[in-house]
């Protein structure tokens, strides 16, 4: 057997939801559509504009960039009101700490050298550990009393913020949003409940933001752990490395990425492997 025959497939796509649902149906699946995001203009990011003003005024000692997409976004917002050269010059005057390879790549394009490298798998735990090690070997790398700007994208990380505060830092969150939750979150809430109940067989993630928003809604519903169990039971298909990285950060490794990062390939290749993947994943599952 091949295809989605008899399987319920969750699609979190917004703009191309109808197209994705049709593809799922073409391969014999039952589409469960729950749009996970809507676009907002970058210039509505008042926190990013406030960060830029503070950076230029010398109000920060350190800037931590958590994601490559967020790094680009915060700079795009800032450049709407301030010259890029001035922003780069201001960043060179502070300690810039990227969490992983994505923000490092963006910073290198700008000619900014990271003050610290965080080891793999580049989670908030490795970030805090790297900062602790730097404090031991570099006297100027103290956190007590340090004014830290923390770039966020999607969902805040309370553990990281708490860890920095426990070390004496004064943290300013810089959330950057290109995408927010849809105005009607009822379909997404229903998807969380169905995942938690083990009623979803496959989930197609076409962007990392969908991952963040799904977990954000689940956390608010206090269903994050049951939903995690449901995801571990289902096929988790990711459009590409950035989305897979977001899933991995939530404790869910992607079961597959398509040979090309396109929606059609994602659906077809997931359908082709669905039967074998489900059989493997559900051995010993409490939902089986």
pLDDT digits (tens, 9 = 90+) for 13-28: 998 999 999 999 999 9
Residues 34, 12: contact at Cβ < 8 Å? yes
38 CB-near residues (< 8 Å, 6+ apart):
14, 179, 180, 181, 182, 183
Instruction: Report CA Rg, the chain.
Output: 21
Do the strands 30-33 and 62-65 form a parallel or antiparallel pair, or are they unpaired? unpaired
pLDDT in tens, 110-158: 999 999 999 987 888 899 999 999 999 887 889 999 999 999 876 678 8
The span from the CA of 33 to the CA of 14, in Å, is 9
List, in order of start, the domains of the chain with CATH numbers. Answer: 8-39+181-281 (3.40.50.10090), 42-177 (3.40.50.10090)
Question: Which tops the pLDDT comparison, 39 or 220?
Answer: 220
Report pLDDT for 2. Answer: 61
In the block, tokens 């009822």 appear at: 186
Q: Residue 211 half-sphere exposure, CB side, CA atoms within 13 Å?
A: 27
pLDDT at position 282 over 90: no
What 165-171 contacts at long range (C-beta under 8 Å, 24+ apart), as own/partner pairs, is: 167/128, 167/131, 167/132, 167/143, 168/143, 168/144, 169/62, 169/143, 169/144, 169/145, 170/145, 170/146
Instruction: Give the full edge-to-edge strand order of the sheet including 62-65.
Output: 95-98, 62-65, 147-153, 170-176
Report the chain's mean pLDDT, rounded to a whole number: 92
């Amino acid at each position: 057997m091949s295809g989605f025959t008899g399987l319920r497939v969750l699609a979190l796509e917004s703009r191309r939801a109808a197209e994705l649902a049709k593809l799922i149906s073409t391969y014999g699946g039952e589409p469960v559509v729950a749009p996970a995001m809507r676009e907002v203009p970058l210039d509505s990011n008042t926190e990013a504009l406030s960060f830029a003003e503070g950076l230029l005024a010398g109000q920060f000692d350190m800037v931590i960039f958590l994601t490559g997409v967020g790094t680009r976004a915060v700079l795009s917002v800032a450049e709407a009101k301030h010259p890029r050269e001035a922003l780069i010059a201001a960043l060179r005057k502070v300690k810039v700490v990227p969490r992983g390879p994505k923000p490092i790549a963006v910073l290198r394009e700008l000619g900014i050298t990271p003050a610290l490298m965080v080891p793999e798998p580049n989670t908030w735990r490795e970030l805090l550990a790297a900062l602790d090690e730097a404090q031991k070997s570099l006297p100027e790398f103290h956190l007590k009393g340090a004014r830290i700007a923390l770039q966020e994208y999607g969902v805040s990380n309370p553990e990281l913020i708490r860890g920095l505060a426990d070390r004496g830092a004064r943290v300013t969150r810089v959330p950057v949003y290109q995408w927010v939750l849809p105005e009607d979150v009822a379909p997404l809430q229903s998807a969380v409940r169905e995942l938690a109940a083990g009623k979803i067989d496959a989930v197609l993630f076409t962007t990392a933001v969908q991952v963040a928003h799904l977990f954000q809604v689940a956390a608010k519903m206090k269903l994050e752990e049951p939903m995690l169990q449901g995801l571990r039971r289902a096929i988790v298909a990711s459009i590409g490395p950035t989305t897979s990285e977001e899933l991995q950060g939530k404790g869910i490794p992607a079961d597959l990425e398509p040979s090309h990062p396109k929606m059609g390939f994602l659906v077809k290749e997931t359908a082709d492997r669905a039967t074998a993947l489900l059989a493997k994943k559900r051995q010993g599952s409490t939902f089986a």
